[in-house]
Amino acid sequence: MGTRRRPGFFASSFVALVVVTSVASAANAANTASTSDTDAAKAGVVVAADFPAGFTGKASSSASTAQLAKLAQGISSCKGYAALQKVIDAQPRAKSRDFSDGSRDVSNEVDVFATDAKASAALARYGDASVPTCLEQLLGKVLTQQYAKDQSTKGKIRSVVVTLSPQDVSGLGDSSVVYEGSARITGKDGSVVQVGLGNAAVQVGRAVSDYTYTTSGADLTTVLQPAIDQSVTRLRAALTSG
């Protein structure tokens, strides 16, 4: 791998895991996509074989497009992100299971566009300067709602602050946009928990594979990098043969 900058470099001080809603749409509505495009998307999702022993998969916990759209209302920086989600919703897609070992969580969604140019345009829109600010506020709302509904944390959280920034990561697919940061959760008792989180949108030809990941302190890079590389290889092969 040389000196290649890889996603997943989080500080070792995280002490709890939170399942964070994917920043990509998780809608499963039927569409008019060709079977070959849908099959290609399915080939690109991460699977159990992409992870080391100890990781298990469960049904995706990502929010629906409608839920994200509702939460995005009133966030001025989310106008461009909301428009991008409408574009994504029209594409054939496949969503992976959530894979976790209790301290690290990885999942992805693959969206297949009609052309390389359209996939590239979608990735460029995701790289807009407004997106990190949008996601910070949007994910803050998502986590706040999750804690308010969870019986173990209901009424115990004072604030949730999400911080994200673009990362210069090379060698992921044809092109990529990566955001990484943390969620700082402060309890009413003064306790503070910090969770590492990130998202990597990777273009592979006319598809975009969106990876969402969190860590509570264990090294994530050695798990995340192989999972991305292996799923990208399958996706590229499926697009080529389709």
Provide the 8-state DSSP code for 155.
T
- Whether the CB-CB separation of 16 and 195 falls below 8 Å is answered with yes
pLDDT in tens, 85-139: 889 989 999 999 999 999 999 999 999 999 999 999 999 999 999 999 999 999 9
Cα distance between residue 207 and residue 202, in whole Å: 8
Which token pair is 84? Answer: 């991008």
Domain boundaries, the chain: 36-241
Residue 201's nearest CA partner among 193, 212, 191, 190 is 212
Cα distance between residue 99 and residue 133, in whole Å: 27
Q: Which residues pair with 98 in a beta bridge?
A: 58
pLDDT tens for the chain, 242 residues: list them.
333 445 543 333 323 333 333 444 333 333 434 679 999 999 999 999 999 999 999 998 766 666 777 788 889 999 998 889 889 989 999 999 999 999 999 999 999 999 999 999 999 999 999 999 999 999 998 888 888 888 889 999 999 999 999 998 888 999 999 999 999 999 999 999 889 999 999 999 999 999 999 998 888 989 999 999 999 999 999 999 86
Q: Which residue reads 């920034």 in tokens?
A: 165
Q: What is the dihedral of CA 129, 85, 8, 202, to 10 degrees?
A: -90
Residue 126, helix vs strand vs coil: helix
